[in-house]
Amino acid sequence: MSTLKGRNLISITDFSKQEYIEVLDIAEGFEQNPKQKILSDKVVATLFFEPSTRTRLSFESAANQLGARIIGFSDPGGTSVQKGETLHDTIVMVASYSDLIVMRNPKEGSARYASEVSSVPLINAGDGANQHPTQCMLDLYSIRKTQGTLENLNIAMVGDLKYGRTVHSLVQAMCNFNATFHLVSPTELKLPSSVKMSIKNAGLKYYQYTDLKDVIPTADIIYMTRVQRERFPDPMEYERVKDSCILTAPMLQGCKENMRILHPLPRVNEITTDVDSTPYAYYFQQAQNGVYVRQALMAAILGAK
Amino acid sequence: MENKKEMVVSAIENGTVIDHIPTESVYQVIRILGLENYKDEVLIGNHLASGKLGRKGIVKIKNKHFTKEEISKIALVAPSASIIDIEGYKVASKFTAEIPDHVENIVRCANPKCITNAEVVPTRFDVVDRENLKLRCHYCEKFTTKETMKFAE
């Protein structure tokens, strides 16, 4: 039985290095054999207080493949939430109808709070700009799967490193695995100092760049994110830097053979479509891995693995 | 304590003296403790000569003894202030207000998107940096600092 039974997953730092590995090992089993009806007596509630098609379908597919029944809503329109019911009351009620709650809510910190009032375990499927730990777990799974290990890798993080929550979580998680970080972003969107401090405190190194070309020969993983126009108060500034974080197929000449490109999706133009057919593109498989990782988390938390 | 013969702010028989308050924090201390509405004697001195601080503030509150929560509030706006309990004109106990490891219910989270600012949720913070007064919200994980700190009503 897993040590994760009955636990919540709110923030990536809630789990230890050993627990990350445990989840990834269980997920590997689901990748080999995804249809295991081990949760057929369980009800999973998916509460999406804001729409997120990809994340919701990934969780629901995972729950379905485990045989669990699903209740919930995909946006709060037409529910008691719209009538002004508090998060507290919604969670207390839903907890009495289900064995596990999966929640997305735009309010930051809402997941931690909901887990404190819920009588059943809760998985955070994104609380505003704060945390989205299952995305981070699937990133770890994809890195381990493509590299054969999580240890001693050169990880390039590219794009909006200031606001990208997936970037912050992945940096924090990879601090457990002796990574070297290569941070590529426009000056305005550098990694916040608090996250850099986590790297320093782990005794690890990071290097900062403004041009993506500079990291291609050294990276084992290139983790791309979108640079959004609305982050720039001055549109001229956006125009000046927008191409510095775009990855094209010709740029990949001279990269390592084992290098793989990840992206939390949706992509806009930061990876041109000619990259999709190269052996380095991994972002679509990465999204598929999300189902196995979510199966693993639900099974472990509900005590079925 | 001042020499009683030259005492600028008169002594109280029973109550609490908050001494060694930085001069810029005196009125904030009064505000966060809600002393504007206190119905007994409150004596306030500011810019008094101090060996420790150069200039200091002092507040004496008659017939009032502070709770742990109130002392945490004092520590957040006036770290290093002395809290002196007075009984029968004598010092019954004296200690320094220290910033606790965890702050509950006192401070509002500076992040407007935090759940604690959207619903009636008691705030909770871990103190991550005492010297520069930096608090990390237990819920949204964002930092509230001296500059952005507001106190709960």
Report CA Rg, chain B: 17
Calculate what percentage of chain A has a pLDDT beyond 90.
85
Catalytic residue among A55, A146, A166, A180: A55
Q: How confident is the model at residue A188 (pLDDT cuts 50, 70, 90)?
A: confident
Minimal CA separation from A105 to chain B, in Å: 10
Q: What residues in A contact B134, CB-CB < 8 Å?
A: none
**Tell me: the pLDDT tens digits for A199-215?**
999 999 999 999 999 99
Residue keyed to tokens 């509002």? B108
Answer whether residue B153 shows pLDDT above 80: no
A187 in reach of chain B (CB within 8 A): no
B112 — contact with chain A (CB < 8 Å)?
A: no
pLDDT at residue A239, as a whole number: 86
A130 has a chain B CB within 8 A of its CB? yes
Distances (CA, A) of A293 to A23, A59, A91, A297: 7, 10, 24, 6
Residue B141 has pLDDT above 90, yes or no: yes
pLDDT average, residue stretch B13-21: 95
**Which one of A107, A109, A110 has the shortest CB-CB distance to B137?**
A109
Residues paired with A184 in a beta bridge: A158, A209
Nearest to B139 among A88, A113, A194 (CB): A113
The secondary element (H helix, E strand) that includes residue A158 is strand A154-158
Q: How far apart are CA A280 and CA A262, in angstroms?
A: 9
Is the CB of A50 inside 8 Å of chain B's CB atoms?
A: no
A181 in Cβ contact with A204 (< 8 Å): yes
Instruction: Please compute the mean of the pLDDT values over residues B45-66 and round it to a whole number.
Output: 92
Predicted pLDDT of residue A61: 97
For residue B79, the number of C-alpha atoms closer than 13 Å in the C-beta half-sphere is: 11
Shortest Cα–Cα distance, B101 to chain A (Å): 19
Q: Is B152:B105 a contact under the CB 8 Å cutoff?
A: yes
A110 interaction partners in chain B (CB closer than 8 Å): 115, 118, 139
Average pLDDT over residues A229-240: 83
For residues A32 and A265, the answer to whether their CB atoms sit within 8 Å is no
pLDDT tier at A237, thresholds 50, 70, 90: confident
Q: Nearest by CB to A107, which of B118, B120, B141?
A: B118
Using DSSP's 3-state secondary structure scheme, residue A253 falls into coil
Q: Where does the pLDDT of residue B5 fall: very low under 50, low under 70, confident under 90, or very high at 90 and above?
A: low
Neighbouring C-alpha atoms within 13 Å toward the C-beta of B56: 21
| Range A163-177 average pLDDT | 94
Over residues A61-86, the mean pLDDT reads 91
C-alpha torsion angle, residues A292, A296, A298, A302 (rounded to 10): 150
Q: Which element (helix H / strand E) includes A44?
A: strand A43-48
Is A132 considered catalytic here?
yes
In chain A, the residue whose alpha carbon lies closest to the alpha carbon of B140 is: A109
The more confident residue out of A231 and A129 is A129
* Residue A255 three-state SS: coil
Greatest extent of chain A over all pairs of C-alpha atoms, in Å: 58
Partners of B84 in beta bridges: B17, B94
Per-residue pLDDT tens digits for A91-136: 999 999 999 999 999 999 999 999 999 999 999 999 998 999 999 9
Mean pLDDT value across chain A: 95
Q: Is A190 on the interface with B (CB under 8 A)?
A: no
Q: Residue B69's pLDDT is what? A: 85
- HEC profile for chain B? CCCHHHCCCCCCCCEEEEEEECHHHHHHHHHHCCHHHCCCCEEEEEEEEECCCEEEEEEEEECCCCCHHHHHHHHHHCCCCEEEEEECCEEEEEEECCCCCEEECCEECCCCCEHHHCCCCCCEEEEEECCCCEEEECCCCCEEEHHHCEECC
How does residue B43 score in pLDDT terms, banded at 50, 70 and 90? very high
Angle at A49 between CA A44 and CA A54, to 5 degrees: 70
Catalytic status, residue A104? yes
Using the predicted structure, report yes or no on whether residue A227 has a pLDDT greater than 90.
Answer: no
Class of domain B102-151: mainly beta
- Asked if the bond preceding A266 is cis, omega within 30° of 0, the reply is yes
B102-151 shares the fold of B7-96: no
Cβ pair A131:B141 closer than 8 A: yes
Query: With an 8 Å Cβ cutoff, are A110 and B137 in contact?
Result: no
Which residues of A fall within a CB distance of 8 Å from B113? 106-108, 128-129
Residue-level pLDDT at A79: 81
Spatial distance between the Cα atoms of A221 and A153, rounded to a whole number of angstroms: 8
Within 10 angstroms of residue A251's Cβ, the number of other Cβ atoms is 14
The answer to whether B138 contacts A112, with C-beta atoms less than 8 Å apart, is yes
Per residue in A242-252, pLDDT (tens digit) is: 888 999 999 99
What count of other Cβ atoms lies within 10 Å of the Cβ of residue A5?
14
β-pairing, B124-129 vs B134-137, is: antiparallel
For the question of residue A83 being annotated catalytic, the response is yes
**CATH 3.40.50.1370: does it fit domain A134-287?**
yes
CB contact under 8 A, A107 and B121: no
pLDDT band (50, 70, 90) for residue A63: very high
Residues of A in contact with B128 (CB under 8 A): none
For the record, the structure tokens of A135 come out as: 């995305």
**A21-45: average pLDDT:** 97
Of the ranges A254-258, B79-83, B116-120, which one carries the lowest mean pLDDT score? B79-83
Which of A7, A42, A132, A263 is flagged as catalytic?
A132
Catalytic-residue membership of A54? yes
HSE toward the beta carbon, residue A229, CA cutoff 13 A: 5
Nearest Cα to A294, choosing from A30, A16, A82, A40? Answer: A30
Per-residue pLDDT, B6: 63
How far apart CA A254 and CA A167 sit, in angstroms, is 25
The closest CB to that of A11, out of B113, B141, B142, belongs to B141
* Domain B7-96, CATH: 3.30.70.140
In this predicted structure, the answer to whether residue B98 has a pLDDT above a threshold of 90 is no
CB contact B132 to A (< 8 Å): no
Q: What is the pLDDT of residues A250-285, one digit of tens each?
A: 999 999 999 999 999 989 889 999 999 999 999 999
* Chain A residues inside the 8 Å CB shell of B137: 109
Determine the Cα–Cα distance for residues A152 and A35; give it in Å rounded to an integer.
34
Q: Which residue ranges does chain A devote to CATH 3.40.50.1370?
A: 12-131+290-301, 134-287
Q: Cβ–Cβ of A87/B138 closer than 8 Å?
A: no
Q: Give Cβ neighbours of residue A263 (< 8 Å, ≥ 6 apart).
A: A223, A224, A225, A270, A271, A283, A286
What mean pLDDT do residues A25-38 have? 97
- Grade residue A151 by pLDDT with cuts at 50, 70 and 90: very high
CATH class given for the domain over A12-131+290-301: alpha beta
A268/A45: higher pLDDT: A45
Q: Which two tokens stand for residue A71?
A: 């209740």
pTM over 0.80: yes
Indicate if A231 belongs to the active site.
no
List the single best residue of A10, A11, A115, A130 to mutate versus B (max B Cβ within 10 A). Answer: A130
The answer to whether the beta carbons of residues B134 and A149 sit under 8 Å apart is no
Report domain extents, chain B: 7-96, 102-151
Record: contact A108-B115, CB cut-off 8 A: yes
Tell me the pLDDT band of B135, cut-offs 50, 70 and 90.
very high
